[in-house]
Structure 1
Amino acid sequence: MFGWGRRGRDSRQDETGPSGNEDGAATEESGLGPYDLAELPEDDAVERLDLGSVRLPVPEGSQLQVEVDPAGPVRAVHLVTRVGRLTISAFAAPRSAGLWPEVRAELTEQLRRDGAEVAERDGEWGPELLADSPRAVLRFVGVDGPRWMIRGVAAGPGETAEACAKLLYAVLDDTVVVRGEEPMPVRTPLPIQLPESIARHIQQAQNGEQQA
């Protein structure tokens, strides 16, 4: 589908050093994404899939998997790769404080209730979660931006968990968030809008299932 464009995550990190702060918040000084649309560098040349509130680089060879609510809205968009599945979600956040520390604590409690072994690790953007469950190894990465929080999840078998995490980092690093100016309750998922060609394909598939 889409390639990585002209910029690579490793080259930018070598130039700028580590990114983020201890709470997982993105910093303008880091030179790394994810970017707010207003902060996207002028010389950016990365090809991305426009999903309305987020614009994602799509790793070559991956497939798009869409979860659609029966009522119509898109619940989630996943990138299915050879090493695992990536999910990027953006949410409205308060202007004055980061949301990820609070969400991270809730995720830890929920995952442990579900029987997963959960550990907190220091990652690319600060604290992240690594959960080992019977079905998959999950890595949760959160980044706080201006009035938004983005959460990335890498899910896959244990033998490819590290490769899947690195791919998640690369996707997050070149993701763009389009928050918009309208007020939203904190934690509201930012709306996903599928490109017309993809939406039409899904509609055709749904119509075929109904006819069958």
Structure 2
Amino acid sequence: MFGFGRRGKRRKAAGEQGHALGAEQGGEHDGLPAEDGFDGPYDEKEAPADQVSRLDLGSVRLPVPDGTQLQVEVAPEGEVQAVHLVTPVARLTVSAFAAPRSGGLWQEVSKELAEQLRGDGARVVLEGGDWGTELVASSPEMSLRFVGVDGPRWMLRAVAASSTEQSAAAGAALREIVRGTVVVRGDQPMPVRTPLPVELPEAIAKHLAQEQG
């Protein structure tokens, strides 16, 4: 068994809360469109007017299939560290980071991830994907697929964690989410690799506060 590299190990102490997304929320998140019309991820300034309902997490807006479970990792001091979309085939995590104008950050990050995961005992394979290099790390118990996309002053990193048997389906689900994602970088200067802040919608934040209270 292995984790998500060094960053993932630091997150193990974070608490997790669950919340379901889907039609029961009155259509707030209506899921992915039936047709495959995505060709993102998109920068906020180029986001399409496609009428797709997306989960707004501040720095990323994600299309979410009906019935997906939302897992939130919260640090002891209350800061949201990560949000995971739990589907029948995989747990999907999409995060955005500050990147240089010149791009190319994912190439650096993918090499570092490969070294870290090999150090954790995983078998690591680099594959060509829709946006370039995809990294697949596997053990007998589980599979991790990392997809990275370089955008204008941001880098998107998406991860699918699944059983080895569901690896192919998990990869397809992850790519579909990435294609419909909108990244909100903002104009403020940030050091390269700084995670863009994650913010929960008010309704979900209240729900989690009630569960914790």
Give the TM-score range, shorter chain.
Answer: 0.7 to 0.9
> Is the 2:138–2:144 contact (alpha carbons within 8 Å) kept by the matching residues of 1?
yes
User: Out of 157, 161, 167, which is 1:155 matched to?
Assistant: 161
Match of residue 122, structure 1, among 118, 123, 128 = 128
Shift of 1:62: 1.0
1:38 equivalenced with 2:45 (yes/no) = yes
Structure 2: runs of 5 or more not aligned: 1-21, 23-28
Q: Which of 25, 31, 42 is residue 4 of structure 1 equivalent to?
A: 31
CA RMSD, 1 decimal:
1.3
Report the identity percentage.
Answer: 61
Counterpart of 2:14?
Answer: none
- Counterpart in the other structure of 2:204: 198
Question: Residue deviations 1:102-154, cap 9 Å, x none?
Answer: 00000000000000000000011111101102431110000000000000001
Counterpart position of 2:104: 98
**How does the TM-score come out when normalised to structure 2?**
0.84
Q: Deviations over 1:148-192 (max 9, x none)?
A: 000000111111111111010000000000000000111110001
Tell me the TM-score normalised to structure 1 length. 0.84
After TM superposition, list the pairs within 5 Å mapping 1:22-37 onto structure 2.
Answer: 32-37=39-44
Count residues with an aligned counterpart: 186
- Looking at structure 2, the residues matched to 95 and 146 of structure 1 have their Cα atoms a distance apart, in angstroms, of 6
Q: Which residue identity is paired with 1:158? A: T
Q: Secondary structure at the match of 2:77?
A: coil
Question: 1:8 corresponds to which letter in structure 2?
Answer: E
Local SS of the residue matching 2:175: helix
Contact 1:6 1:45 (C-alpha < 8 Å) held by counterparts: no
The question of whether the paired residues in 2 share the 8 Å contact of 1:4 and 1:57 is answered with yes
Instruction: Point out the more displaced range, 147-156 or 132-141.
Output: 132-141
